[in-house]
Amino acid sequence: MNDDITQLLVAYQEGEKDVLDELYPIIYNDLRLIAKKQLHRSWGVGTLSSTALVNESYLKLLGATSISFTDRAHFFSLASKAIRQIVLNYAESKNALKRGSDWQRVTLDQTLADDQKRVDQVIEVGYALEEIERLDPKLAQLVEMKFFAGMTELEIAEVWGVTDRTVRRSWHKAKALLAQALAV
């Protein structure tokens, strides 16, 4: 498994872009399983640390194998993309929970309005991110890493091999774009 992923990463690195198709599902599935475990703990309310998620998955998938710096960057970009998908799915499911059949499971007089707002926000960011991807894939990746995967600016700087100042500037741009995209 580990070798598979490393080799796939190397291949990807060497320009075989289509290996992404093979790599992504592996990472995605793994993250999803870890996420599911985390979500199902604690009082029935999902608490999921996406940073821990990435790290756990990183350790599990790549373990001690020494992979190059760029491979690492690729891994995190893929993982963040996967987590974005997981988080959005989760948000959608929470949404469904309030609207669909699972409303049966919630005590009637709960204060749900606040939750609803936050769920909606996350889902909207998900849509807006598709716009930004078209415009500037690097910024979109940043949103994935920081907002969805919960990586810190320092971690992202390390993965990208840039200064944290650069990350901070990109984040500023990304938020400005998101604010515009969400404005209407």
Partner 1 sequence: MALDVTPERWEKIQAVVDALFDLAPAEQEEYARKASGDDVLLYDEVMQVLAFEDRSMTFLDSPAMASLSNTSSEQDLPDIEGYRLRERIGVGGMGVVYRAERDQGDFTQQVAIKLLPQWQARTKSRQRFRQEQQLLANLEHPNIATLYGGGMSAAGLPYLIMEYVDGMPIDNYCNENQLGLAIRLRLVRQVATALQHAHSQLIVHRDIKPSNILVTPEGEVKLLDFGIAKLVGEVDLNLTRTEEQLMTPGYAAPEQVLNLPITVSTDVYQLGLVAYLLFTGRQVHFDASESVGELVSAICEKEPVKPSQAVDANAGLLSSGVGAASWSKSLRGELDAILLTMLRTHQNERYASMAEVVADFDAYVDHRPISSLSQSSTYHAKKWLRRYRSAVSVTGLFVVMLAAYAITTSIQSKKIAAALTQSDFERQKAQSVADFMVDMFKAADPNVSGINTITANQLLEQGMEKMEGDSGISPSIQARMLTSIGEIYYSQGQIEESRTTLELALVKQKLESGGNELDLAKTLTNLAVIYNQTAAHSEAEQLYIESLNLQNSRFADNKTEERFIANLAETYNGYGVLLLDRGQLLEAERRISQSVELLKGGKLTHHEQYANALSNLATIRITQGRLQEASDHMKAVIELQERTTGDTHPFFSLYLVSLANVLVKLEHFDEARPYIDRAILLQVQILGENHPDLANSKRNLGVLIQHQGDIEQAEKELREALIIREANFLKPSLMTGNAYRQLGSVLIDKGEYDEAKTALEQMSHHYSSVNAGNITLGLGSCSQARWAYRQGFYEKALINYERAMEQLAGNDLRLAVAETGYAQTLLRLNKTNRSIEYARKAFTTRSKRLPVGHSLIGQSQAVLGLAHAQNEQLSQARSHLRNSIVVLESSSSSRAVAVTDVLTMARARLASL
Between 7 and 172, CB nearer to partner 1: 172
| Minimal distance, residue 15 CB to partner 1, in Å | 22
| Minimal distance, residue 136 CB to partner 1, in Å | 6
Between 20 and 39, CB nearer to partner 1: 39
| Minimal distance, residue 108 CB to partner 1, in Å | 6
CA neighbor of 6 nearest in space, from 69, 65, 78: 65
Between 7 and 180, CB nearer to partner 1: 180
| Minimal distance, residue 68 CB to partner 1, in Å | 28
Q: Tokens 């807006």 — which residue?
A: 128
Between 4 and 135, CB nearer to partner 1: 135
| Minimal distance, residue 3 CB to partner 1, in Å | 28
Positions touching partner 1 (CB under 8 A) are: 36-37, 40-51, 87, 90-91, 94, 100-101, 103-112, 115, 118-119, 121-122, 125, 127-128, 131-132, 134-136, 143, 146-150, 169, 172-173, 175-184
Between 17 and 105, CB nearer to partner 1: 105
| Phi-psi label, residue 66: left if phi above 0, alpha if psi -120 to 50, beta otherwise | beta
